[in-house]
Structure 1
Amino acid sequence: MQQKSEGYKNLVDSLKSASGLLDLKQKSQLNRDLIAICNNLANPNFRIAVFGPFNHGKSTLLNAMLGNRTLPIDLIPTTGAAITVRYGSDVRTRIILVDGTEIDCSGTEILQQFAILDENRQMRKDVASVEVLCPHPFLEMGVEFLDLPGTNDREEQNNLVREQLLSSDLVVQLLDARKLMTLSERENLRDWLLDRGIKTVIFVVNFINLLEPDEQKQVQNRLIFVAESFRAELPAGFSNLYRVDALPALRARLKGDVAAANSSGLAAFEVALQNIVGILQQNCGDVRLPRLQAIASQIQLSLKNKIDPLANEIKTFDDKQNAKIEVKQKAANLINQGFVTSVRELRDWLALPKLLAKYQADAAVALAENNFKAWQTGTFKKDLTELQLAVVKWLYQAYNFFQEQRPEDLLIPLPSEPQITLPPRPNNTDTFSEPGSIAVGSGIGWLLGGPVGAAVVGSISYLLNKNVQEQDEQLAKESYHQEVAKLCIVAIEDYLSRFSHQGLTILAEYEQKAVKIIRFTVGLEPQEITNKREDLRRWQNTFNQLLQELETANIFSNYQSYQETPKPQNPSREYFPQQETVQTSSAKDIPNQQRQENTTKNTSTRVESPRQQVSSPPSPRPEEVEAKFRNWELDEEIAQMKVEMRSGSQTSKAPNQPKTEVEKDKIVRAYTTLGLQPSASFAEVKQAYRTLVKQWHPDLFVGKPQLLQQAQEKMRIVNEAYTICLQNQELR
């Protein structure tokens, strides 16, 4: 028994730890039951409790079994404390008071002072425990008796009895044959024993000798019914019902009358009791652990009532936090996507071959016509500003969304205006009367008026379109205006080359700065949540430890262990967008040939692409319209994310509102405009709108006034329909 009780030490410690964490009130029923069951597990002796209402002869029966008047008995309720009877070499009494005082004396007379009810039938408040040592051979086998106060007298006594039953391995319930199994006894049997897993119970009937023979027979039949209806968990072959006339048995023992003791039923009961105890002692865990299961289940339920709400609260916080992070991460990726696309477009635009193909002809003509400043401001700078703003827009989007670092504007300065020197005029022309060469800084149109000026402009167009090669012998045969045209072309190429080199360098540096803007930081969580995480961890660890000890003791549990909620490893984190593989251009990436080509003013140029029309802006290609639509989509999606962030929910939608017939017709017409049914999904609406935009975007009809007007009206109708369809999708 000693070894087995030590085996339950971890389980007892786990139960006590859970109780301490639950902060159970000392006088709460759960705490008192827990203390009782823990004491039982730690008790190396096999405990037999004698239980029943007052004046049923409990102390008399125990005295008869012990063979002397060890315990106080009287005609009124006397036992006012739970008296434990253990083995000792001589009869002694040990009383421990609440203040820790210990009283140890020979004999049991002191019980009359400390272990009986006072004149008001109250238990003494200062007695913590009462123990009697007795030299009885049955007790020497590691058995102890527990004499309990009578029930159905005072609530305080009932509470004491109820607690002590849990710390008993075998319960002897004493019945009065004169009033067999009253309502209160049946309730106690159910509530105090059966429902708490105490099923090792023996019924002993007292006072049957006071009944008439006919009455005794009726009582015997009723007793058989009671015994059979209660499924006691006793060793096979043993009855759970015995008759003992307690007072005659005590008198017979005191006189040494063996025959009288046998006729009282005491001897038969003692033999059965010793055999039952001998068997149950071999595996005391089968007796104690089942009743522990009910208490452990209550402890586990109490722990779950603490854990689950706290876990749900933390999960709700984490879900909201993760939803915000997810929205921000998605926004960062979208913003970065738009930024990278805009940077790529600007970088492509800054590439020297592209600049030459798009602007060289117009710029050379403007230079020849003394109109370079107007061209530079009205065309070139306007295009540059638009592309720069397209790049910067995404960084301001990031700043508005994340509030990390305010961006700087992207400013790519324009180079100084081209400088050329006119060659000496030919001897066979009188176009110029000034001798020698003339330096011109801001255009030569004022010198090349009339037919000669027109010829220079025409030569610019001719030379670029014909892609004239650099051949000295051909150069010598060229006319004067072709020489001047080539000077204009070379000057513009130098201008665009310097601009390209400087712009790509500035753009590369600007990209590096953008990293600090398109990002967001998740700060430390509130201290309150951190504290709750720690509380949850303690609760879960305590619950899991208890569950593990129950499994080790082979005690079934209805619960599963908790997966510990992990504490965030890096509570303060920085998030960056998903990076795309982008070719970053800088000054060192520009080929030396491109930077050095045509740096001298008198060297002819090699043009890579034919000259664009100078008269009117070109119509955008379909891919340009697609890019504009894609940027518009990103703007719309980011705007929607901001709304979600403000609302605190990623999936919040407006409640469905009843629609009037007019509103229904309006919605149907909108879907019809997009070529859809009202049941179309959001993806279908978006795709239909995309198709119509590609078909009717006004930019596709530049230079076609009649079609342009038609396209603008069509897009107005399509935009209105798309807005209505989106609103309808949100209300579903």
Structure 2
Amino acid sequence: MQEQNVYQNLVTNLRSALGVLELDKTSQLYRDAISICDYIEDPIFRIAVFGPFNYGKSTLLNAILGNRTLPIDLIPTTGAAIHVRYGNELHTRITFKDGTKISESGTEVLKQYAILDDQRRMRGDVTSVHVYCPHSFLQRNVELLDLPGTNDREAQDDLVRDQLLTADLVIQVLDARKLMTLYERENLRDWLLDRGIKTVVFVANFLNLLEPEDQKQVYNRLLFVAESFRSELPNNISNLYRVDALPALRARLKGDASAAQTTGLAMFESALQSIVAVKHENQDIRLPRVQAIATQIQQALQTKAQTVSSELEMAANKRHQKFEIKQKAQKLIQKGFSKSVSDFMSWLYLPKLLYAYQSNIVSALQQGTFNHWEGGGFKQAIAEHEQSIMKWVHQACEFFDCPQPGELSIPFPSQPQVILPEPPGPSTPSKSSTDVPPIALTSSVGWILGGPVGAVVAGGASYLLNKLNQDSEPQKPISSNAYLEEVQEAYNRAAKDYLTRFSNQAFSTLDDYQKLAEKITNLQITEEPSKQTTQHYQLQLLQTLQDNLTHELDLVSTKFSL
């Protein structure tokens, strides 16, 4: 109970870490961590018997129990992890994956649910198998764990590997006829040593089947193997024992204590009782494997924290890059907008407008086609400038996610009005005026004026000339060139007035739009601050769990070093 209190916070943090790591539940680390948590929370002292098929593991356990409690046969038999605990009477309980249970007296039911099938496979629907036996050794809060043989199928090996992590003491059964095979040495390293499982006792079986001379030689070699493995056992407790399992079982079944003594079983049982007694003195033997698994969990937390930290750093870099891109884009937009506005202003400069369009307007007015002229190339040129300016504003709105400020629409003044001079009155013609044909004057005026107004003016001139021809007294000829110049000047003034009004209105409208648009193109850009995302909380939790695990491991280590 005291150990449970010491480990409780560590178990809580380990389970929390598993939830944060989101490991695959079939992964070895996840299974090991769950096993170690269950192991720490269970106060029972578990002794697991471990070895390849047909090495006599179940027979050894039956010999210890003094009965054929567990199924044994000449072929590989055990197909489940069978937990043997104390009970007032011999009975078996099978738990299935769907939660249902079977509880029957005796152990006959094991032959149905705890042995391998014809294809030497374990049942897939069984979760746990418990046998309750009225044995005094088990009454000391001890559990014996009979495991399937290794070196047969991967599923059995995985089961054995997981269960070994929860054993306070591992009995590795060796076949004296084969000594320590390469496979057994690899399992010893990978399944036990590397996982902090060092409370291991080796039991050599079948030594009685060898000749006496061979027995000595083999046993000496087994001693070398055992000594090379530094088991963490109580003082004066050996890690190698000879037990002839089948003769020991037969002797126990017959009640022949002297025969059982010669099999080495009594010495081995005495060692087990001593180990259990030391355990009850609170000398912890679980710490190394707890540290091993907790260290792996810490490393996994650190790896994930580094991954999350890298992702957050990448996100920060992206935000900064986005900020720099916005800055560059703003400069380009500002430059493009300013150039478009400047180009339009240059185009609207009155002297340039007069030079480019005054004569065209005069011609259109004379021909009565001003509306057609205005709606053609003139408006098209203005529209192109408007689109060039608004293009940059639209890009700024889209890029900086701002509302559109409206369209730039340059207004046009009313149609120009031509104010013509009064035509000259009748006068006495001179001799030189007879050289000017009346039709020539009429034609010239009509060509200049054009349209309804021109027709009136031309008609008036024709009338005057005809009247002069009818008068009996000779008249002075009309000065047609001076009048035509005055008419031409009237058209020029009308065209200039139109372009002047247009330029002033356009500059005013453009200035208003420019002020409105510059609020967007000159928008203050700031780098987005780092937001507290799920990843930030996850990183903080990962770091906290690492610190907590380190703290709890230090506390547990200090507790058991005192």
TM-score range, shorter chain: 0.5 to 0.7
The 1:556/1:543 distance shift into structure 2, 3 A limit, reads farther
- Conservation of the 8 A alpha-carbon contact between 1:289 and 1:555: no
The residue type equivalent to 2:554 in the other structure is N
The 1:546/1:104 distance shift into structure 2, 3 A limit, reads farther
Partner of 1:460: none
- Residues 348-367 of structure 1 mapped to structure 2, 5 A cutoff: none
SS in 1 for 2:214: helix
Partner of 2:312: 314
Shift of the alpha carbon at 1:302?
2.2
Shift of the alpha carbon at 1:327?
13
Structure 2: 5+ residue stretches without partners:
328-395, 403-520, 558-562
State how far apart, in whole Å, the 1-side matches of 2:181 and 2:96 are.
35
Shift of the alpha carbon at 1:276?
1.4
- Conservation of the 8 A alpha-carbon contact between 2:96 and 2:128: yes
Shift of the alpha carbon at 1:552?
2.1
Shift of the alpha carbon at 1:312?
2.7
1:199 aligns with 2:204: no
The 1:547/1:85 distance shift into structure 2, 3 A limit, reads farther
Shift of the alpha carbon at 1:555?
7.2
The residue type equivalent to 1:189 in the other structure is L
Moved more, 172-181 or 7-16: 7-16
The 1:543/1:205 distance shift into structure 2, 3 A limit, reads farther
The residue type equivalent to 2:85 in the other structure is R
Give the TM-score normalised by structure 2.
0.61
Shift of the alpha carbon at 1:520?
4.3
State how far apart, in whole Å, the 2-side matches of 1:39 and 1:522 are.
53
Give the TM-score normalised by structure 1.
0.48
- Conservation of the 8 A alpha-carbon contact between 1:6 and 1:42: no
State how far apart, in whole Å, the 2-side matches of 1:274 and 1:150 are.
25
1:101 aligns with 2:100: yes
Partner of 1:19: 18
Shift of the alpha carbon at 1:27?
1.5
Partner of 2:289: 291
Structure 1: 5+ residue stretches without partners:
330-398, 405-516, 558-732
Deviation by residue 1:417-458 (Cα, 9 ceiling, x = unmatched): xxxxxxxxxxxxxxxxxxxxxxxxxxxxxxxxxxxxxxxxxx
SS in 1 for 2:177: helix
- Conservation of the 8 A alpha-carbon contact between 2:91 and 2:104: yes
State how far apart, in whole Å, the 2-side matches of 1:153 and 1:325 are.
62
State how far apart, in whole Å, the 2-side matches of 1:159 and 1:221 are.
32
State how far apart, in whole Å, the 2-side matches of 1:539 and 1:161 are.
35
The 1:134/1:82 distance shift into structure 2, 3 A limit, reads same
Deviation by residue 1:339-397 (Cα, 9 ceiling, x = unmatched): xxxxxxxxxxxxxxxxxxxxxxxxxxxxxxxxxxxxxxxxxxxxxxxxxxxxxxxxxxx
Partner of 2:300: 302
SS in 2 for 1:85: strand
State how far apart, in whole Å, the 2-side matches of 1:44 and 1:543 are.
31
Partner of 2:461: none
Deviation by residue 1:601-621 (Cα, 9 ceiling, x = unmatched): xxxxxxxxxxxxxxxxxxxxx
State how far apart, in whole Å, the 1-side matches of 2:220 and 2:186 are.
21
Deviation by residue 1:235-256 (Cα, 9 ceiling, x = unmatched): 1211110000001111111111
State how far apart, in whole Å, the 2-side matches of 1:249 and 1:221 are.
22
Shift of the alpha carbon at 1:281?
3.5
SS in 2 for 1:267: helix
The 1:129/1:312 distance shift into structure 2, 3 A limit, reads same
- Residues 515-664 of structure 1 mapped to structure 2, 5 A cutoff: 520=524, 522=526, 530=531, 533-554=533-554
- Conservation of the 8 A alpha-carbon contact between 1:17 and 1:542: no
- Conservation of the 8 A alpha-carbon contact between 2:7 and 2:556: no
- Conservation of the 8 A alpha-carbon contact between 2:58 and 2:72: yes
Partner of 1:172: 171
The residue type equivalent to 1:277 in the other structure is V
Partner of 1:163: 162
Moved more, 311-320 or 92-101: 311-320
Aligned residues: 375
SS in 1 for 2:16: helix
State how far apart, in whole Å, the 1-side matches of 2:101 and 2:531 are.
48
1:149 aligns with 2:145: no
The 1:41/1:63 distance shift into structure 2, 3 A limit, reads same
- Conservation of the 8 A alpha-carbon contact between 1:293 and 1:555: no
The residue type equivalent to 1:297 in the other structure is T
State how far apart, in whole Å, the 2-side matches of 1:132 and 1:536 are.
49
- Conservation of the 8 A alpha-carbon contact between 2:9 and 2:552: no
SS in 2 for 1:214: helix
The residue type equivalent to 1:76 in the other structure is I
State how far apart, in whole Å, the 1-side matches of 2:550 and 2:278 are.
24
Partner of 2:9: 10
State how far apart, in whole Å, the 1-side matches of 2:71 and 2:311 are.
58
CA RMSD of aligned residues (A): 3.2
Which structure 1 residue ranges, 4+ long, deviate > 6 Å from structure 2? 322-329
State how far apart, in whole Å, the 1-side matches of 2:32 and 2:240 are.
27
Partner of 1:34: 33
Shift of the alpha carbon at 1:546?
4.5
Deviation by residue 1:110-138 (Cα, 9 ceiling, x = unmatched): 11111011111110111100001111111
Deviation by residue 1:220-242 (Cα, 9 ceiling, x = unmatched): 11011001111111112111100
State how far apart, in whole Å, the 2-side matches of 1:86 and 1:33 are.
23
State how far apart, in whole Å, the 1-side matches of 2:308 and 2:93 are.
48
Deviation by residue 1:46-70 (Cα, 9 ceiling, x = unmatched): 1100000011110111011011111
Partner of 1:119: 118
State how far apart, in whole Å, the 2-side matches of 1:324 and 1:126 are.
56
State how far apart, in whole Å, the 1-side matches of 2:3 and 2:178 are.
41
Shift of the alpha carbon at 1:19?
1.6
Query: Percent identity of the aligned residues?
Result: 60
Shift of the alpha carbon at 1:290?
1.4
- Conservation of the 8 A alpha-carbon contact between 1:11 and 1:546: no
The residue type equivalent to 1:260 in the other structure is A
State how far apart, in whole Å, the 1-side matches of 2:259 and 2:220 are.
24
- Residues 439-588 of structure 1 mapped to structure 2, 5 A cutoff: 520=524, 522=526, 530=531, 533-554=533-554
1:53 aligns with 2:55: no
Partner of 2:69: 70
Shift of the alpha carbon at 1:3?
3.8
- Conservation of the 8 A alpha-carbon contact between 2:95 and 2:129: yes
Shift of the alpha carbon at 1:305?
2.4
SS in 1 for 2:160: helix
Partner of 1:264: 263
Shift of the alpha carbon at 1:142?
1.1
State how far apart, in whole Å, the 2-side matches of 1:229 and 1:63 are.
29
